[in-house]
Amino acid sequence: MKVALVQLDVDLTLPVAKARELAVAKVHEAAEDGAELVVLPELWAHGAFDPVPWPATAEPLHGETAQALREAAIDCGIVLHGGSIVERTPDGKLYNTSLVFDAEGELLAGYRKIHTFGFDQGEAAVMTPGEHITTFPLRDIDDSVLTEIGLATCYDVRFPELYRKLVDAGAQTVVQVAAWPTRRLSHWLTLCRARAIENQVYMLACACAGTQAGLEMTGHSLVIDPWGEVIAEAGAEATTLYAEIDPAFVPTTRERFPVLRDRRL
Ligand SMILES: NC(=O)CCC(=O)C(=O)O
């Protein structure tokens, strides 16, 4: 299965509508290049790492960004993980919410980031934490399940118990979206790899590029296999990272090296 991680350059000076247009064009490009699953990064339409524009650019769950993503998934005939949006609920709460659409435009999954970032950028002060883990089956055209996907967002990667819960719920692949600063690049690379190794999952980790509120975003989107091998890695610049993944490699790895079976706790 060919996957594409669209490492967007998140530009805070762009109006949301323009950012949407650019992101959708990149999704079309990835689909034309044969990707069946396309992933965008965290909060790409909302200034990514900078909380200042979030309240003003927040959207309802079925707002314009969600609609544009849905149409892109239909037009391209792909499964689209649209990265995350700032979701405003009817009672005024803000969530960092990921949306996944299938090729018919159905909402396959939604995930509200559970671990909002408490360190000095203020996400935790603005966003309400999600409360539910999310997994969903990614199906082939004959309706058979290709892989069970679990969702996670950025700071979540520091909390291994979330990934174990995803695995207990059946996840074989984790799609991780992020806006991660360059100054903690080594953490990003190490944590993504650790989550893949300890859970024997594919990690599809799509991060932002560019500079946000004076902070350089690290890029370095990653595709890591269930043995922990990095099979594709982007640099710091905006790009689309492609990789072929083999969903059958997850059960094979788990059978040959049965770490999950050997758990005691
Ligand atoms: N957007 C985020 O959650 C940033 C997380 C981060 O920079 C870190 O964990 O370090």
Segment 172-206, tens digit of pLDDT:
999 999 999 999 999 999 999 999 999 999 999 99
Residue 171 belongs to domain with CATH number: 3.60.110.10
Instruction: Tell me: ipTM over 0.95.
Output: yes
Q: Which atom of ligand 1 is nearest to the CA of 43?
A: 1
Which residue's CA is minimally distant from atom 3 of ligand 1? 155
Residue 158 falls inside a structural domain: yes
Total domains, the chain: 1
Residue 189 falls inside a structural domain: yes
Whether 76 is catalytic? no
Q: What is the pLDDT of residue 12?
A: 64
Residue 208 falls inside a structural domain: yes
**Which ranges in the chain belong to alpha helices (H)?**
16-32, 54-57, 64-76, 123-126, 160-168, 185-199, 249-256
CB environment 178-195: b (16+ within 10 A), e (fewer): bbbbeeebeebbebbbbb
Q: Which domain holds residue 106?
A: 2-256
Residue 263 falls inside a structural domain: no
Mean pLDDT of 31-44: 97
Share of the chain above pLDDT 90, in %: 86
Q: What is the pLDDT of residue 141?
A: 82
How wide is the angle at C-alpha 171 spanned by C-alphas 44 and 134, nearest 5°? Answer: 50
Structure tokens at 234: 């982007």
Q: What is the pLDDT of residue 169?
A: 98
Ligand 1 centroid to Cα of residue 191, in Å, is 12
Q: Which atom of ligand 1 is nearest to the CA of 178?
A: 1
Residue 98 falls inside a structural domain: yes
Segment 220-236, tens digit of pLDDT:
999 999 999 999 999 99
Structure tokens at 176: 């991780």
Average pLDDT over the chain reads 95
Whether 131 is catalytic? no
Kindly report the pTM of this predicted structure.
Answer: 0.96
Structure tokens at 110: 């939604």
Q: What is the pLDDT of residue 122?
A: 81
Residue 265 falls inside a structural domain: no
Residue 261 falls inside a structural domain: no
d(CA 40, CA 33): 16
Which single residue is written with the structure tokens 């099979």? 231
Residue 169 falls inside a structural domain: yes
Q: What is the pLDDT of residue 213?
A: 76
Segment 76-109, tens digit of pLDDT:
999 999 999 999 999 999 999 999 999 999 999 9
